[in-house]
Structure formats: C-alpha cells, structure tokens
Amino acid sequence: MAIIEQNPAEERPFGTFAPKAYLARIIARTRAASDSFLGRKVAYALRRLGLRSLDGAPVDIESLGAKMRLYPDGNVCEKRVLFTPQYFDAIERELLVSRLRDGFTFIDIGANIGAYSLFVAARAGRGARILAVEPQPEIFARLAFNIAQNPFGTVKAVACALADKPGELTLFIDPTNRGESSVRILNSSAGTSVKVPAMTLLSLVEGEGYERIDAVKLDVEGAEDLILEPFLRDAPQALWPGFIIIEDSRQRWQTDLAGLLGRSGYRLVAQTRLNLVFERKPA
C-alpha cells in the first residue's frame, strides 16, 4: 500500500492561496501571450518573475476549466498549467476534445496533478469515466486534492504504477521536476527513490469493469513500452484504446513501441515536440 504524503497546505480550504494582485497580473499577462516566438519569450520572462515572487508557495486558481492548487516550484507541469496553459499540449488537447462522445472513457497514466484528467472531465459530461493513475505519493496527494475541488464526479484517482507485471517497483524521483519521476533510472544524481505498488494496465481495466477505452494518455518518462506492449499482447482488441497520446520517449524505450502500434492498426495522426498521437479505427 502506498503511503500518501499529506502536505499541511492541503488541509487548508481552496482559495487560501489565491494569487495576490502582483502575481494575478503576471498570470493574466502570461496567459494572454500569443504563440509567436516573441509572445513565448515575453511569457517565459514574466513567468520567471512570478515564480520568484511565490518563493515556493502554492497557488489556488482555475486552469483548463478546473480548480487546482498548483505548486509550480519543482514541477514543470504545474508551472505550465499555472502560467501558460495555452501552451500545454495544445494540439493534443484539441484532438482529444474533438473525439469526445457520450460515456467517454479516458485513462490518464502518469496523471501528475490531474491537468489532463480535469481538462477532459470539464468537457466530457456527467457520463464520462476517467481514471487518473499516479504512483508518486506527494504528487498523488495533490491530484486527489484537485479532483476534490471540482464538481465533475467522473474522475477516480488510482495510487499505483503501471508496468509489465504486478508487484512493487522502485520509483526514482527527480526533485527538480517531479513530473520527470520514473520507474527507470534517472540521469539526475540528486534524485531519491520510493517503493510503490504496481499492476498491469489490463488488470486495472478489468478491475474497473471497463468494456471499452476511448482514449489513453501515457506520460511515464520512458516506461511507456512497459505498459502498452503487454497490454496489446494480452488484452482483447475490444479493449484497445481508440486514441493514444504518448510521450515521445523513443530513445528510452527498449522496444519499438511506435512500430508495434503501427502493426496493431494504429496510425500516427500528430507528432509534437513532446508527444506522439495515434488513432485506431474500429474494425
């Protein structure tokens, strides 16, 4: 059983850490910045000022259609969602939204603080089913807090790692960017590690009673092949997700996962700076 690390700040009600006037102005300007080279340069310069003013404190704010308490110091995901959500996987999110339908089922693997899960929940309606899977205890506590601040009722947080077999795994944590934590050894020498429970994607899906998966997002810092390869081997095709957003970690995968997806009937519909997006049409 994973030990959930409760931050004392999470015992305080949402709104306690609302941005003060100076920070609110910076956030408004960074969020209004264009996607041009100059727009991004200005936004990132202002973001640095905002981070310095926070000095490690969290911020309670709405982003991507959901209320979140964000800790941008030490987690790139939270920094992006707070200051520049318009740059946060914009192409991937647009493609995902265009595929929403009644009863949408979505599994967010490596959910971090819930940005993708809550983004989908805000748009998919009350009939959606969303699993947010996050193994890192401290980040899971933030994820659970963020889910609880919203009225969607469609997101379930799962505190475990997904891998090629059940058991216990060592999760290597990068203190400079919590989102870079992985079950594969990090390059950073400053990292720590923690033991976390692990299960396969198939056992998770079967345990939750899923009959179909509309979309999956995988961002597990190079361990995506450990999850998807055994799933595509063992799961019935009726359970194969129709749409997959996967972090582009081809240099770290031990198998040709992109090739496997192609052989399994998926086509690459988008490639961005960080991700590969695949889709499989029903037979």
**Mean pLDDT score of the chain:** 91
Torsion angles phi and psi, residue 122, rounded to 5: -70, -15
Same domain, 80 and 118: no
Q: Tokens for 159?
A: 């505190």
Rg (C-alpha) for the chain, rounded Å, is 18
Categorize the per-residue pLDDT at 276 as very low, low, confident or very high, splitting at 50, 70 and 90.
Answer: very high
Domain range for residue 35? 16-87
Say whether both 50 and 140 belong to one domain.
no
Q: Identify the pLDDT of residue 5.
A: 54
Dump pLDDT digits (tens) for 65-77: 999 999 998 899 9
Q: Are 140 and 159 in contact (CB under 8 A)?
A: yes
**What phi and psi, each to the nearest 5 degrees, are found at residue 246?**
-135, 130
Q: What does pTM read for this prediction?
A: 0.91
Give the domain-ending residue among 63, 87, 111: 87
111 touches 258 (CB < 8 A): no
Q: Which two tokens stand for residue 212?
A: 């179909």
The pLDDT score that the predictor gives to residue 1 is: 41
Q: Are residues 146 and 241 in the same domain?
A: yes
- 204 contacts 213 by C-beta, under 8 angstroms: no
What six digits make up the tokens of 49? 């000022």
Instruction: Quote the number of domains for the chain.
Output: 2
In whole angstroms, what is the distance from residue 224 CA to residue 164 CA?
10
Q: Does 128 score more than 70 pLDDT?
A: yes
Is residue 138, in this structure, part of any structural domain at all? yes
Structure tokens at 47: 């973001």
Q: Are residues 178 and 254 in the same domain?
A: yes
DSSP code string of 116-160? HHHHHHHHH-TT-EEEEE---HHHHHHHHHHHHTSS---EEEE-S
Give residue-wise pLDDT tens across range 193-221: 889 999 999 999 999 999 999 999 999 98
Q: Which CATH number goes with the domain that contains 174?
A: 3.40.50.150
Q: Which of 87, 109, 141 is the last residue of a domain?
A: 87
Pairing of strands 129-133, 59-63: unpaired
Q: What is the DSSP string of 50-104?
A: HHHHHTT--EEEEETTEEEEE--TT-HHHHHHHH-GGGSSHHHHHHHHTT--TT-
Residues 171 and 211 in one domain: yes
State the pLDDT at residue 192.
80
Question: Final residue of a domain: which of 27, 52, 87?
Answer: 87
Place of tokens 């926070």: 54
The residues that bridge with 169 in the sheet, in sequence order, are 196
Establish if 198 belongs to a structural domain: yes
Q: Specify if 73 maps to a domain.
A: yes
**Residue 277 phi, psi dihedral angles, 5° rounding:** -120, 125
| Pairwise pLDDT comparison (75 vs 180), residue with the higher score | 75
Confidence grade of residue 188 (pLDDT, cut at 50, 70, 90):
very low
